[in-house]
Chain A
């Protein structure tokens, strides 16, 4: 099966930029989405089809996907961004989620 790898945790100071990565073999050939899940809540779609953002999601969230790595970038990070972040990749052969990255805003 196809594997997606995420760092278990990332820390960032308020106002700084957080970068969360997701890696997999030829990930750039797949369509990647990103989800935020806060404690006790259901996941929320942040980015779809590599770099597209739902209208309700702030512009601070952006995504990219190339080669073997997809990246979620959170600019001007706020305390309310503290959550678990999951990447998800799809092509015609598989649908997989990464293990998640816990973002701590110090």
Chain B
């Protein structure tokens, strides 16, 4: 059974940093692109970032470009999101999500349970 388990969320002040992790199991991790998607109270679901199966291709939403960095360690079946210069509008439940292919096709066929990141002073 496919499973994605996020961790690393927690309260942080504006301007601070946080690193989210996602542990994957139940599928061949490096065969698939992986995404981060967030759920905010005001804007609903918002795609954040993607990384290809081999890690060579990444892409970001304009709202996080230059502040967030996605990475993966295929030897550890793990996905990461380094979040710097956090803003209050980054407050959200962050989901790790699996793509349907190695090269991203931008549909999410498995989701984790999410990890909450509240950004406030």
Contact = CB atoms under 8 A, between A and B. Distances in A.
Nearest to B108: A45
B46 A97 contact: yes
Interface string B43-58: 0111100000000000
B75 to A, nearest CB: 26
B108 A95 contact: no
A101 to B, nearest CB: 11
Nearest to A1: B62
Given A42-B95, A42-B112, A48 B44 contact: no
Contact of A42 (B46, B100, B105, B113): B113
A54 B109 contact: yes
Nearest to B61: A95
B114 interface: yes
A31 B104 CA distance: 12
A84 to B, nearest CB: 9
Interface in A7-52: 31, 33, 35, 42-45, 48-49
Contacts of A1: 62
A61 interface: no
A99 B45 CA distance: 8
Interface of B: 44-47, 61-62, 95, 100, 105-114
List the 10 closest A-B pairs by CB distance, nearest first: A90-B106, A48-B107, A97-B45, A42-B111, A95-B47, A33-B107, A45-B109, A99-B44, A95-B106, A43-B111
Interface of A: 1, 31, 33, 35, 42-45, 48-49, 54, 86, 88, 90, 95-100
